[in-house]
Structure 1
Amino acid sequence: MSCVLGFDVGSKLIGVAVGNRITQSARALATIAMREGQPDWPALDRLHREWLPQALVVGLPLTLDGAEQPASKLARRFADGLRQRYGTAPVLVDERHSSHEAAERFAGARAAGLRRRRDGAQIDAEAAAVILERWLATAELDSPLSSSAPNAELP
């Protein structure tokens, strides 16, 4: 199976996307609530069981000059939780401008009549799809997942 789950981690919501390494495509899947700074692990467990991902990709918030910022710590902590829970080391991907691109996609879909109103939760899931698409575009199908993209990885 070539399924990949991507995550856009925020202080209130985690956007989730599902992608395929063979087709290099991704789509927004869901949003998961953060409760008191902790992910809703039972909801994430359900998604993990349903999709059985081969890889996990987490967006890493960086400043415009590429430095880490306070939100980077939250993303790294979430990625470490995924690694501990599922035994798979997530790949961290630069997520600069992903929320902006997701908002533009959402606005385009709304203008085309495909969406009725602005929904922040859907934008978070769409941002996860943007992050996942970036990784899929650089991943090599025959490479080991832990080194298949020139993006930041967990230390």
Structure 2
Amino acid sequence: MHSAPKGTTLAFDFGEARIGVAQGDAEVGMGHPLATVSGSSNEAKFEAIAKLVAEWRPVQLVVGLPTHADGREHELTRLSRKFGRRLHGRFGLPVYWVDERMSSLYAESLLAEAQVFGKKQKAVLDQVAAQAILQGFFECGAAEYFNGREDGAAGGGGQKAV
């Protein structure tokens, strides 16, 4: 059993075109939408993420792990894991993967409650989805933890964060 460190956390809702980012503090247990990262290349996206990491100085990173409704993995699952491994490689921080199956529905619901629709909703949807992922991490822990080793079948050693 691995305990998550206390301190600032950045969470990511990975997408091939856009990456939503949320920030929160593990001790307080609340996340906030922060940014939507997009760019013409992976390098441009990682440069934008590096600026956020430098500004917020997180102690850990959380990446949403998309799966089918029944939990089976698909191509975006593989790409999200790759993204998380790249985050760890660049920043040397622990990465936690969190089940994100309901994050987009939760984000749409929150934005509808706030009367945010259409183009305004699209602009912040990924950030709010990242916030939902972060809240899930604070409330339920993570499915997996990655510290740079590939010793588990899923690449994270199967350790659960609490």
TM-score w.r.t. the length of structure 1 is 0.84
Q: Determine what percentage of the aligned residue pairs are the same residue.
A: 33
Helix, strand or coil: the match of 1:68?
Answer: coil
* Alignment correspondent of 1:90: 95
Q: Which amino acid aligns with 2:122?
A: G
SS in 1 for 2:114: helix
Cα deviation, residue 6, structure 1: 0.3
The equivalent residue for 2:131 is: 129
Partner of 2:3: none
Aligned CA distance change for structure 1 residues 82 and 39 (closer, same or farther; 3 Å): farther
Q: Quote the Cα distance in structure 1 between the aligned partners of 2:82 and 2:88.
A: 10
Q: Which residue of 1 aligns with 2:38?
A: 33
Match of 1:151 in 2: 143
2:13 corresponding residue in structure 1: 8
After TM superposition, the structure 1 = structure 2 runs for residues 1-150 of structure 1, keeping only pairs within 5 Å, are 2-36=7-41, 40-110=45-115, 115=116, 117=118, 118-138=120-140, 149-150=141-142
Q: CA deviation at 1:116?
A: 6.8
Distance 1:25 1:39 in 2: 28
Distance 1:150 1:43, change over 3 A: closer
**Counterparts of 2:44 and 2:83, CA distance in 1:** 8
Structure 1 residues 97 and 6, CA gap change in structure 2 (3 angstroms): same
Q: Counterpart amino acid of 2:138?
A: L
Alignment check: 8 A CA contact 2:99 2:142 kept: no
Question: CA-to-partner distance for each residue in 1:106-150, whole Å, 9 max, x for gaps?
Answer: 01111xxxx475331301000000000000113xxxxxxxxxx35
What is the TM-score normalised by the length of structure 2?
0.81
Name the aligned partner's letter for residue 127 of structure 1: A
Q: CA separation in 1, counterparts of 2:104 and 2:80? A: 15
Number of equivalenced pairs: 141
Instruction: Give distance in 2, aligned partners of 1:64 and 1:49.
Output: 35
Q: Structure 1: 5+ residue runs without aligned partners? A: 139-148
Structure-2 separation of matches of 1:70 and 1:80: 16
Answer yes or no: is the 8 Å Cα contact 1:92–1:151 preserved in 2. Answer: yes
Runs of 4+ off more than 4 Å: 36-39
| Cα distance, 1:10–1:2 mapped onto 2, change above 3 Å | same
Stretch moving more, 14-23 or 118-127: 118-127
Distance in 2 separating the partners of 1:121 and 1:72: 23
